[in-house]
Structures are given as C-alpha cells and as structure tokens.
Amino acid sequence: MAAVKSPRAELASPHLIRSLSLTPADSAALDDLAQDASDWLGWTVSGSALIRALIRYARGQGPGWQRATLFPLLEEEIARGTTWGGPGRRRGKTRVP
C-alpha cells in the first residue's frame, strides 16, 4: 500500500539554517513571545517560526513602513553597538529619508 502524504508535507518549503546573535534579554523576549503565541494558538510556536512570521510581516509592509518604522530601530541597534558588520555595500539602492 502506498504511503499517503499529508497536505502539510507538500506545503513545507526547505529551510536554511541561519545563526543569529541575541543578547540574553532579547533571547528571553523571543522565548516569551513564542510562549505567548503558543498559548494563544494552542500550538507550539518556535522562535524560528516567530522570526519567520516577523520577516514576512516586515516584507509585506512595503518600503515606506520599513523606512519609517523598521530602519530607525536598526539605527538604534547600531548606536548601541549590538550589531556586527559595518557600512557595507548599498546593493544599488539609494537611501530615501
């Protein structure tokens, strides 16, 4: 008898393994958010699932929201010295205030 694939298995896309650096406070906040989501959904939510959802949300908001809301938060991260890297290349994009 042939195995029957579940619809979820067909929807799943391959994931890439990425590592990220978090402060202890940020790690605790991620755990708290994942637990709150798990409590609300009634389903276990991992930190990775939470981060993927946040990335999709931010991407869906468009460049205006990203510049007005997300990028100032990134500037705060840079000012605190909690990021790695440097100015880097702009990838052909022009900064619009």
Rounded Cα gap, residues 41 and 8, in angstroms: 17
Supply the range of the domain harboring residue 54.
24-80
The reply to whether 51 falls in a domain is: yes
Rounded Cα gap, residues 91 and 81, in angstroms: 23
The reply to whether 14 falls in a domain is: no
The reply to whether 57 falls in a domain is: yes
- Tally of domains in the chain: 1
The reply to whether 9 falls in a domain is: no
pLDDT of residue 77: 86
The reply to whether 90 falls in a domain is: no
pLDDT of residue 27: 95
The reply to whether 11 falls in a domain is: no
Average pLDDT, the chain: 83
CB 86 within 8 A of CB 74: no
The reply to whether 12 falls in a domain is: no
Residue (of 76, 61, 77, 64) closest to 23 by Cα position: 77
The reply to whether 50 falls in a domain is: yes
Of all residues in the chain, what percent carry a pLDDT higher than 70?
71
